[in-house]
Amino acid sequence: MLPVLDQNEDHHYEMSEYEGARARWCPGCGDHSVLTAVQRLLAAEQLIPEQTMFVSGIGCSSRFPHYMKTYGFHGLHGRALPVATGIKLHRPELTVFVAMGDGDCTSIGAGHWLHAVRYNVDMTAMMLDNGIYGLTKNQTSPTTPQGFKSNTQPFGSILPPLNPLEVVLGITNASFVAQTAEWAPSHLYATLRAAYKHKGFSFVRILQRCPVYTPSIFQRAVQDPDRIQLLVHDDGVVTPDLEKLYKSQLHHDPRDLAAARHLAEQTDRITLGVLFKDSSKPRYEETRRVAPRTPAERVALLEKEFARYAV
């Protein structure tokens, strides 16, 4: 690993120092809440901007890196995770966040998603799930509620929506699975913080509304706090300010995978919190870590290799 070059050890980073370009999402878009929570997190953790990476795919939420004052990689639709994996394999000392939309992550990039969970490379993967393709103007995504009318399924979404939590919790070597919501900022912040602190692949599904195309998909839950179930545990997310609002609370131990899967299956109410967490799972970039070699060492080794092939 390369030494972390902190050029300015005494410098205290203000939240504004993590702000990149002015965010150009629609007013009222949930992406703004996530951006604010993330900038707050970076300031709280005093992450060094040049040691921090935001990797994204394509979609509204994938503009995320542009709005951060860190290094960013705004790549291809569905393919943020392989790029992030490559960065982390080569430069494990960098802190990596990934921003993906629901189409990005669970549709065109679904294959990478499954395997990224299994690799368990240390990064925070945020899936900003508004249940619609917004950038391309209102097409059904895998998480669009059944019956929801869009430009591609004008008579209503045909299939029941894919449940990302069930998917992730079904993958061997999953190590951190949480769900939060853009309309509960303190929970969003606390969840992202827990995800960041977790060593491994932290998958956070962030429920959010698209003010243009899906303004009402979570309306009932927003208006009726009893439709929300808050997971509470010392090893999960603690948000005392929300405990009065969300009276339905469940003491859930995030180490209990069976219980987590059971919770993920529940669709009658929305569960917020850390469903699963296991820090003991092997991390791919750690298991693949190799001792670096100097050019001279490599040449000496290569001479030995050639000796094996000598005529």
Partner 1 sequence: MSASATAAPAPPKVLRVPEHTVEIVSDSGEGAQKCGQIFGAVSAKMGNGVWTVELIPAEIQPPPRVPEGASGNRIRLGEHTVTNWGDHTHLVIAFNEQVLLARHRVDALADDAVLLIEDKWARSEDADIVAQWNAAMKELSGKHYRIIPVAMEDECLTIVDNPKKGKNMYALGLLARIYGRDMELIKAQIAHAFRKKSEEVYNQNVALLELGYHWAEDNIDFRVEIPTHAAEKPLVVMNGNEAIGMGAMAAGMELCAMYPITPATSVTHYLSEVFEKFGGVVHQAEDEIAAAGVAIGASYAGKVAFTITSGPGMALKTEFLGLAVMTETPLVLVNVQRGGPSTGLPTKVEQSDLLAAVFGQTGDAPHIVMAPATIEECFHIMVTARRLAEAFRTLVMVMTDANLATGVSPYPKPELDEKWQAAALDLAPVKDGQKPYDWNPQTGLSERIIPGRPGGMFTLTGLAHDDRSKVAYSSDIHQHSSAMRSRKIAVLQSLLKPPTVYGDDSGDLLVVGWGSTKGAIEEAVDRARKDGLKVSALHLRFLSPLEPGLKEIFRKFRKVMTVEINYSDETGDPYVTEENRRRGQLSILLRNATLVDVDCWGRVPGEPLRPMSILEAIRGRMPRGGAK
99 lies in the site for partner 1, by CB under 8 A: no
Single-letter residue type at 34: V
233 lies in the site for partner 1, by CB under 8 A: no
Binding partner 1 by CB under 8 A: which of 15, 159, 245, 299? 299
Considering only CA atoms, which of 154, 110, 170, 104 is closest in space to residue 131?
Answer: 104
155 lies in the site for partner 1, by CB under 8 A: no
| Residue window 19-58: x/- pattern of binding to partner 1, with contact defined by CB under 8 A | -xx---------------------------xxx-xxx--x
Euclidean distance between CA atoms 191 and 174, whole angstroms: 17
| Nearest-approach distance from CB 26 to partner 1, in angstroms | 17
70 lies in the site for partner 1, by CB under 8 A: yes
DSSP letters spanning 169-236:
HTSTT--EEEEEETT-HHHHHHHHHHHHHSSSEEEEEEE--BTTTBTTTTHHHHH-GGGEEEEE-TTS
What would you report as the CA-atom Rg of the chain, rounded to the nearest whole angstrom? 21
114 lies in the site for partner 1, by CB under 8 A: yes
145 lies in the site for partner 1, by CB under 8 A: no
| Number of chain residues interacting with partner 1 (CB under 8 A) | 59
| Class of residue 211 by CB neighbours under 10 A (exposed 0-12, middle 13-18, buried 19+) | middle
Q: Which secondary-structure segment (H or E) carries 287?
A: helix 284-287
Among the listed ranges 30-38, 111-119, 215-223, 259-267, the one in contact with partner 1 (CB under 8 A) is: 111-119
Token reading at 288? 């693949």
Whether residue 91 contacts residue 77, with contact meaning beta carbons closer than 8 Å, is answered with no
Binding partner 1 by CB under 8 A: which of 27, 154, 234, 290? 290
Whether residue 202 contacts residue 195, with contact meaning beta carbons closer than 8 Å, is answered with yes
Alpha helices by DSSP H, listed for 109-177, are: 110-119, 164-169
286 lies in the site for partner 1, by CB under 8 A: no
Q: Which residue has the tokens 């393919």?
A: 79
| Nearest-approach distance from CB 222 to partner 1, in angstroms | 32
Query: Mapping DSSP to helix (H, G, I), strand (E, B) and coil, where does residue 142 land?
Result: coil
| Nearest-approach distance from CB 96 to partner 1, in angstroms | 10
| Nearest-approach distance from CB 67 to partner 1, in angstroms | 9
| Nearest-approach distance from CB 137 to partner 1, in angstroms | 17
Among the listed ranges 5-13, 26-34, 201-209, 230-238, the one in contact with partner 1 (CB under 8 A) is: 5-13
> Which residues form the interface with partner 1 (CB under 8 A)?
2, 5, 7-8, 20-21, 49-51, 53-55, 58, 65-66, 68-76, 79, 81-91, 93-94, 111-112, 114-115, 288, 290-293, 295-296, 298-299, 301-303, 305-306, 309-311
